[in-house]
Amino acid sequence: MFMSKTLISEVEVYSQLDTITNSPLFKGSKVLTILLKFIVKETLEGRGMQLKGYTIAIGALGYKHKVDEHHLAMVRIYAGRLRKLLQRYYSNCHDGDEIIIKIPKGGYNPRFVRMSKTTCVLLMLLINVV
């Protein structure tokens, strides 16, 4: 509703990814950092629609042997934690944050949305009021 729909370049997304993963919030979350980098890279390289639990279990989490329901459950758990961590990250406006990386529920394919400083302040007010 407040977000711009202008095109976002790969360079901008990778820059935002570096900003997020180098933030203190993500520094203590090695697995979630690896997961975020993997799904962003796969999406930018045109494989976002193929991101499934199995693909993530092998490609990001390093499960090399038979992937079973336990591994797939771990992917879902980590994805849920990543969504929450991204929400915490974006609950504060950071200088230079112009791109929101969002992982909608029900999938692993991230969305990239441009955000202005005004939008950030409005979102922060809404988060803190609600």
Q: Where are the domains of the chain?
A: 10-129
Residue pLDDT, tens place only, 77-105: 999 999 999 999 988 766 667 888 999 99
Is residue 61 a contact partner of residue 75, using CB atoms and an 8 Å limit? yes
Beta bridge partners of 114: 4, 99
The pTM is what?
0.84
Residue pLDDT, tens place only, 7-38: 899 999 999 999 999 999 999 899 999 999 99
CA–CA dist 130, 125 (Å, integer): 8
Amino acid at 6: T
Amino acid at 31: V
